[in-house]
A and B are shown apart, each in its own frame.
Chain A
Amino acid sequence: MSLERPNDPVTAEVVRHALIALAEEMTINLARTAHSTIVYEVQDFATGILDAQARLVAQAPGGLPLFVGDLDAAVKDGLALFGADGFQPGDVVLTNHTGTCGQHLNNIVVYTPAFHEGRLIGFPVTRAHWPDVGGKLAGGFLTDAVSSFEEGIQFRSLKIYKAGQPDAELLRLIRHNVRLPEISFGDLRAQIAACRLAERRLAELHRKYGGARVEAAVAASWDHAERIVRQALGNYREGSYQAESFLDDDGVDLGRPIRIHARVTIADRAMTVDFTGMNAQVRGPINSGMAAGISAARLALKYLCAPELPPNEGCFRPLQVILPPGTLISAEEPAAMSWWQTPILTVIDTVLKAVSEAAPERIPAAHYSDISCMLLTGRDARSGRAFTNIEPTAGGWGARPHGDGPSATYTIGHGDTFNIPVEVLETRFPLHVERYGLRRDSGGPGRWRGGLGLERIYRMAGNGLFNGLSERSVCPPWGLAGGAAGRSGEIVLARVGHRPRRYHKVTGLGLKAGDLFTFRTGGGGGYGDPLEREPERVRLDVAQGHVSRRQARQAYGVVLRRNGEVDAEATAALRAARQAALAGGG
């Protein structure tokens, strides 16, 4: 009977589901037992299962997409250092090495080897953002670091448990090099528990189906994913396309734009992403390593070809990444990486922009592409306790070929995360939020309008040290097919007794009670000619407060009467004049 075959499709499907479910269970377990805000509220983590050769078997759909398909790098380093025979049941390995993982040091990878009947059958892996890893600034998000040494301590593939026994000395070393050891060790315990759970489940799976069947099922799931991606690639016109974009600067050499470049070639149901034209690595802390650069290309492919498919090794077989060492996204030690994720977002958008030439009807305009993150540290006078608040802000997404872009939505690099409610924020930190709302006129005008960014105004209710990062002011989120760009984000600081000042990057600024700071995030780009937007939609946008009357007239050529209704004649006349001027000017 065919169901007896080791690779029968029914067992394959059941095992594939079981493995994905397993990775999800790790996620749930980790989120519920972790101690730091960024893990449990922001869910800044990833969980997955690798096989004995560090190939991705399954990754939980939650967690951060930025971590897609790069969990393998950490385990490969361990395999290289310890050897394939160098693991014992009960080992726990910890790493945040920039040369391996290519991310900021706060991202701590913890993994364990899983065994069944004495044989290594894979590695459950977790990555979680620890609130602190030492370095010169609590929390680690330095905007002015020029090497990893300022950013914190590196742990390269440390076996913190050996055969089930904790290594007290290593743990002591870690404990005294991080600022919030109780929270970090709480997170560490949660990470280990999630891995241990997965070890048990993996072994159960092998016991139930036998190793050969599980391995055959995994191989089948990779082939399956590969087929899906290749078929989807068939939707894109073959050819070679390129796109470029710019970041403002690296936060250290201010005002020196950084070039992002991608050449994408689609041929024979395969995709090559060539990052050779990428800026060289920079002094400031926005570099990332090779693993992160490759992950950016993988993530773009996933968005393009297999959004619903849980990621595994097979998804990425049709992808070739050309990435020479020493670029912004393949930086070498000791490059600073505190804000590694910011450029990655624009890298992904740039790859999508290149591909938009291959399928204009499939790709939305650019999104705000910025973490827009604030980091506030200090001691809360009310409780006497130290606090660290790290908080990204949502922004606008690009308009689509057939619809407006979503407003106030986290970036393409965010996943299954939550923002922090104002009512929680105010109990936890000496902050008072004055406004948290949509930013009118920030969406790029177009036949379809880009989504709106946010404005959030905070008043300090105590003292603290402020860091903030806002990007993409020289190259705001672009429109497509004639749509205009969305507005860029910015930070405005209004200190008591000073004039308000506008910033994009702020490092270590002392704020006092009463000082105001405002975060504004960018809007998404528009799609299509704004003069072709139905006037009725513009009227509704004005009624809803998404667009001002002024922008309605200037960008969309729509004239509204005093009662808010469209003045059809005046609109037609204004649009005709606008088009004539464009034709004449062009």
Chain B
Amino acid sequence: MIRISFDIGGTFTDCVLHDGAGGRVLAHKLPSTPADPAQAVLTGLDALLGQAGLAPANVAAVLHATTVATNAVIERKGAPTALITTAGFRDVLIIGRQKRYETYDLYLDKPEPLVQRRHILEVAERLAADGTVVESLDPASVDAAIERALASGRQSVAIALLHAYANPTHEQMVAARLAERAPNVPVSLSSDISPKFREYERTNTTVVNAYVRPVVDRYLGQLQDALKQRGFQREMMVMQSNGGLVSPALARRYPVRILESGPAAGVLMASLVGEAVGARHVITFDMGGTTAKLGAVDDGQPAIAPAFEVDPVRYRKGSGLPVSVPAVELLEIGAGGGSIASLDMGMIGVGPQSAGAEPGPICYGKGGRQPTVTDANLVLGYIDPGYFNGGTMPLDAAAAAAGIRQHIGQPLGLSDGEAAWGIHLVATGNMEHAMRLVSVERGRDPRRYALVAFGGAGPLHAARLARAIGIPRVVVPAAAGVGSAVGLLQAEPRIDVSATRLMRLEAASVPAMAELYSELERRARAELALLSDAGGVRWSRYGYLRYAGQGFEVHVDLPDGAIDESYPARAAAAFHDAYQRKHRYRDEAGAVEAVDWALVASLPRPPTGEWRFAASADQRQGRRNAWFPEAGGFVETAVMARASIGSQGIVGPAIVEDPDCTTVVLPGDLARIDASGHLLIDIARDRT
């Protein structure tokens, strides 16, 4: 079976083809075409098919990850949107959650809502927390609100009424009326998009959906048409933030679910690579030019968070717009190859400012003047100035060294190597902190985890990080440079539905629990009908639970099977275990309360067969000086292409070069290549 995928990023479009019969994997990376994204896609797919000698009609699956939704929010280029809400609660988005994310800043601004106050309209109605109607919906107020929304040219409408998670009726009535008045205006209901309590988060999630919906609708429509015209017969599937695929029909209706499309595919790739090398527990580390993204895979499953923030300021929690839909757990920090190093009153600081791709690091020779992490790595000998990006981009090592000397070395009285090492170490320290948050602080014991590193700069810093945290193994996947596209090829269609219902885990709750799950199943089935290859559904449950009285919930995989008298006890046992894993504490006698309940429907894909990554023919081997403080500074170091290492491996210090990334192997660590072409590094135990 031929499967083909493409991941459209801001800079590059990655295309990958996998032939299930022979296991052959082909990749093609080309510049994105933002004005008409389909252009790069078609060029890339043509190239791959040409290389494989295949036609579009041979392709059994077309899979896609995109940043279009996220970019619409970040650039504030969504549709003019109106929000209809409960009378008295017009300002929910403006009030927010009040987190002052920079505590001592007199000039702090809150996240700017996507809808201005004048486009937030109130209707008279009120529900109680249990969903009972306190005040019935006033039709006249509904008509007035709709009138104003249409008169002011709103092209998309969000409806978010107080406590609608407990009862969707009023929202549905408003939507029905709007459909009568303006059948072409898309409507997003909070009870449909994210039926969970906490009004700010739910309202914002709904507004994000409404705001990006026309943009995503247009984009996916054009892409579908273009693929069809080119002769692709199978419908394209789109990656969601939760790591599962959906049909374009669902993505166009719930675009808020595809915001983290690309990163989700990356984490999925890491989980599959982990599986291939026998690692069930994985920390994922994707470091590019501007940021580093950390995620996790627990027991073979990508870790999913119930919510995330889009467009945060300086990666601070609370500074972005919260989106309450399941997404792969990601921590993003401002540490990338382009992060700028500077001296601040005698101390080295790195990032979060980045030189980006333009002007880029000094060594790019495109006008960058400030030293970056990449410049430091070049001076340290980790990067070959003649083999960056496969040799297509010669780097100016002398200029990098001069910049570091001028800005860091001279003022501090350090040699070039020491100053560069300082930059490297500070950057690593920033990431180490983030990695500690993802691992230890979330109850993950690093000794049981493998670190899967990818992105242009990830493999270069990975071993140092693994040592600092105590992770015993680093994996640099084959085709690390097109990781997300590879992850896409192996994804399964998946639908998450959830609802908030505060319930104690006790016998009295059983009927309500059973009813809730049949309602969730009904919703999931309605969505499955919109997935083109429905059939063979696998169901699983999870929830967010806490000890009664607490305000933070933990993710719990809830047991399968009938919801009967024994269910509360079984669910409670799962909770106690999950809580203990996270907090190293359990209270068997404590009452347990469930807040959110979720059901997952996934459609297992057919086996993808073997994977044989086209090995680079490059068998380069050489030596150059690179900085290893444990070896006393600059030492002559073996430099090898991945293909030349072989399964017997090499003991560090060593540098492994792929066309799109460089891996540093520390002294004493053992690097080898497995049968699939993945690079494995065993971190020397007594060095961590």
Q: Which residue of B lies closest to A38 (CB)?
A: B551
Inter-chain CA distance A139–B129, complex, in Å, is: 26
Chain A residues contacting B337 (CB-CB under 8 Å) are none
Q: A40 and B425 in contact (CB under 8 A), knowing A13-B347, A227-B346, A416-B101?
A: no
A181 to chain B, nearest CB (A): 13
Q: Are A406's CB and B110's CB within 8 A?
A: yes
- Among B88, B97, B422, the residue within 8 A (CB) of A437 is B88
For chain B, give the interface size range.
35 or more
Q: Are B118's CB and A427's CB within 8 A?
A: no
Q: Are A544's CB and B91's CB within 8 A?
A: no
Inter-chain CA distance A108–B109, complex, in Å, is: 31
Inter-chain CA distance A181–B242, complex, in Å, is: 41
Task: Kindly specify which of B9-17, B173-181, B428-436, B534-542 makes contact with the partner chain.
Answer: B428-436
Q: Are A10's CB and B106's CB within 8 A?
A: no
Chain A residues contacting B412 (CB-CB under 8 Å) are 9
Chain A residues contacting B344 (CB-CB under 8 Å) are 224, 228
Q: Are A17's CB and B550's CB within 8 A?
A: no
Q: A17 and B197 in contact (CB under 8 A), knowing A61-B103, A416-B100?
A: no
Chain B residues contacting A394 (CB-CB under 8 Å) are 95, 98
Residue in A16, A307, A434 whose Cβ sees the most chain B Cβ within 10 Å? A307
Inter-chain CA distance A231–B108, complex, in Å, is: 22
Q: A25 and B441 in contact (CB under 8 A), knowing A13-B426, A416-B100?
A: yes
- B89 in the interface (beta carbon within 8 A): yes
Q: A438 and B91 in contact (CB under 8 A), knowing A17-B429, A307-B105?
A: yes
Q: Are A3's CB and B418's CB within 8 A?
A: yes
Q: Can you list 27 A-B pairs with a CB-CB distance of less than 8 A?
A: A3-B418, A10-B426, A13-B426, A16-B347, A21-B433, A28-B437, A29-B441, A35-B549, A40-B552, A62-B103, A303-B104, A307-B104, A307-B106, A308-B104, A363-B106, A364-B106, A406-B109, A406-B110, A416-B99, A421-B198, A423-B162, A426-B163, A436-B92, A437-B88, A438-B117, A544-B117, A544-B118
Q: A437 and B347 in contact (CB under 8 A), knowing A33-B585, A65-B103, A423-B129?
A: no
- A115 in the interface (beta carbon within 8 A): no
A binding-site residues for B, Cβ under 8 Å: 1-3, 9-10, 12-14, 16-18, 21, 24-25, 28-29, 31-33, 35, 37, 40-41, 61-62, 65, 183, 189, 193, 220-221, 223-224, 227-228, 231, 299, 302-303, 306-308, 352, 363-364, 394, 400, 406-410, 412, 414-419, 421-424, 426-427, 432-438, 454, 457, 543-546
- Among A29, A40, A423, the residue within 8 A (CB) of B198 is A423
Q: Are A409's CB and B100's CB within 8 A?
A: yes
Chain B residues contacting A65 (CB-CB under 8 Å) are 103-104
B601 to chain A, nearest CB (A): 27
Q: A14 and B426 in contact (CB under 8 A), knowing A408-B95, A416-B100, A416-B318?
A: yes
Inter-chain CA distance A545–B90, complex, in Å, is: 11
Chain B residues contacting A37 (CB-CB under 8 Å) are 551
Q: Are B425's CB and A10's CB within 8 A?
A: yes
Could you count the A-B residue pairs with CB atoms below 8 Å apart for me: how many are there? 191
B63 to chain A, nearest CB (A): 36
- Among A29, A62, A436, A457, the residue within 8 A (CB) of B91 is A436
Q: Are B89's CB and A436's CB within 8 A?
A: yes
Chain B residues contacting A307 (CB-CB under 8 Å) are 102, 104-106
Q: Are B95's CB and A25's CB within 8 A?
A: no
Q: Are A407's CB and B94's CB within 8 A?
A: yes
Q: Are A408's CB and B88's CB within 8 A?
A: no
Inter-chain CA distance A68–B106, complex, in Å, is: 16
Restricting to B378-420, which residues have a CB under 8 Å from any CB of A? Answer: 412-415, 418
Q: Are B103's CB and A224's CB within 8 A?
A: no
Q: Are B98's CB and A409's CB within 8 A?
A: yes
Chain A residues contacting B162 (CB-CB under 8 Å) are 422-423
Restricting to B490-518, which residues have a CB under 8 Å from any CB of A? Answer: 502
Q: A423 and B199 in contact (CB under 8 A), knowing A16-B347, A183-B549, A416-B99?
A: yes
Residue in B91, B92, B134, B344 whose Cβ sees the most chain A Cβ within 10 Å? B91
Restricting to B50-98, which residues have a CB under 8 Å from any CB of A? Answer: 88-92, 94-98
Q: Are B346's CB and A224's CB within 8 A?
A: yes
Q: Which residue of B lies closest to A545 (CB)?
A: B117
Q: Are A415's CB and B103's CB within 8 A?
A: yes
Q: A40 and B551 in contact (CB under 8 A), knowing A2-B414, A227-B346?
A: yes
A188 to chain B, nearest CB (A): 13
Q: Which residue of A lies closest to B547 (CB)?
A: A35
- Among B91, B128, B425, B436, the residue within 8 A (CB) of A408 is B91
Q: Which residue of A lies closest to B97 (CB)?
A: A418
Chain A residues contacting B117 (CB-CB under 8 Å) are 438, 544-546
Chain B residues contacting A224 (CB-CB under 8 Å) are 344-347
Q: Are A3's CB and B198's CB within 8 A?
A: no
- B629 in the interface (beta carbon within 8 A): yes
Q: Which residue of A lies closest to B419 (CB)?
A: A10
Inter-chain CA distance A417–B99, complex, in Å, is: 5
- B583 in the interface (beta carbon within 8 A): yes
Q: Which residue of A lies closest to B196 (CB)?
A: A423
Inter-chain CA distance A454–B129, complex, in Å, is: 23
Q: Which residue of B lies closest to A223 (CB)?
A: B346
Inter-chain CA distance A407–B99, complex, in Å, is: 13
Known pairs A17-B429, A419-B95, A423-B197. 5 more at Cβ < 8 A?
A2-B415, A21-B433, A417-B98, A417-B99, A544-B118
The prevalent SS among residues of B at the interface is loop
Q: Which 4 A-B pairs have the closest CB atoms?
A: A435-B88, A10-B422, A437-B91, A40-B551
- Among B92, B429, B552, the residue within 8 A (CB) of A32 is B552
Q: Are A421's CB and B418's CB within 8 A?
A: no
Q: A434 and B88 in contact (CB under 8 A), knowing A61-B103, A426-B128?
A: yes
Q: A424 and B198 in contact (CB under 8 A), knowing A17-B429, A308-B102, A409-B98?
A: yes
A198 to chain B, nearest CB (A): 13
Restricting to B542-567, which residues have a CB under 8 Å from any CB of A? Answer: 547, 549-552
- B308 in the interface (beta carbon within 8 A): no
Inter-chain CA distance A13–B89, complex, in Å, is: 47
Chain A residues contacting B430 (CB-CB under 8 Å) are 17
Q: Which residue of A lies closest to B443 (CB)?
A: A32
- B250 in the interface (beta carbon within 8 A): no
Inter-chain CA distance A436–B108, complex, in Å, is: 22
A565 to chain B, nearest CB (A): 14
Q: Are A419's CB and B97's CB within 8 A?
A: yes
Chain B residues contacting A433 (CB-CB under 8 Å) are 88
Chain A residues contacting B415 (CB-CB under 8 Å) are 1-2
Q: Are B436's CB and A21's CB within 8 A?
A: yes
Chain B residues contacting A423 (CB-CB under 8 Å) are 129, 162-163, 165, 197-199
Chain A residues contacting B347 (CB-CB under 8 Å) are 9, 12-13, 16, 220-221, 224
Chain B residues contacting A303 (CB-CB under 8 Å) are 104-106
Chain A residues contacting B165 (CB-CB under 8 Å) are 423
Chain B residues contacting A18 (CB-CB under 8 Å) are 429, 433
Q: Which residue of A lies closest to B105 (CB)?
A: A307
Residue in B97, B421, B550 whose Cβ sees the most chain A Cβ within 10 Å? B550
Restricting to B312-359, which residues have a CB under 8 Å from any CB of A? Answer: 318, 344-349
- Among B100, B101, B348, the residue within 8 A (CB) of A10 is B348
B533 to chain A, nearest CB (A): 38
Inter-chain CA distance A300–B437, complex, in Å, is: 31
Inter-chain CA distance A18–B94, complex, in Å, is: 36
Q: Are B550's CB and A40's CB within 8 A?
A: yes
Chain B residues contacting A62 (CB-CB under 8 Å) are 103
Q: Are A13's CB and B88's CB within 8 A?
A: no
Inter-chain CA distance A17–B434, complex, in Å, is: 11
Q: A416 and B106 in contact (CB under 8 A), knowing A10-B421, A435-B88, A437-B91?
A: no
Q: Are A31's CB and B552's CB within 8 A?
A: yes
Q: Are B197's CB and A421's CB within 8 A?
A: yes
- B211 in the interface (beta carbon within 8 A): no
Q: Are A302's CB and B91's CB within 8 A?
A: no
Q: Scoring B residues 436 to 461 as 1 if CB is less than 8 Å from chain A, else 0, what string do you get?
A: 11000100000000000000000000
Inter-chain CA distance A427–B166, complex, in Å, is: 12
Q: Are B418's CB and A406's CB within 8 A?
A: no
A352 to chain B, nearest CB (A): 8
